[in-house]
Amino acid sequence: MENAIVIEVNGEKHETASGTTVRTLLDQLELNAGRVAIEYNLQILRKSEWDSTKVAPGDRLEIVQFVGGG
């Protein structure tokens, strides 16, 4: 991948393109944006910031998926 950077997602190294937003990262990971919460570098990231927040080399994200059930 040209212009690739390495970030950490849920404790694992992940390679993505430079300039990738958090919203695009969710799409790459095939996660339903309506059912997750994101901690970005130890801070909760509001949904309203996902489109404008670009990941950078060494960033750490914890993505928690909500699962329904009965």
Which domains, from first to last, does the chain contain?
4-65 (3.10.20.30)
- pTM, two decimals, is 0.89
Burial class of residue 29, CB neighbours in 10 A (0-12, 13-18, 19+): middle
* pLDDT tens-digit map of 11-67: 999 999 999 999 999 999 999 999 999 999 999 999 999 999 999 999 999 999 988
Cα distance between residue 24 and residue 27, in whole Å: 5
- Which 8-state DSSP code applies to residue 54? B
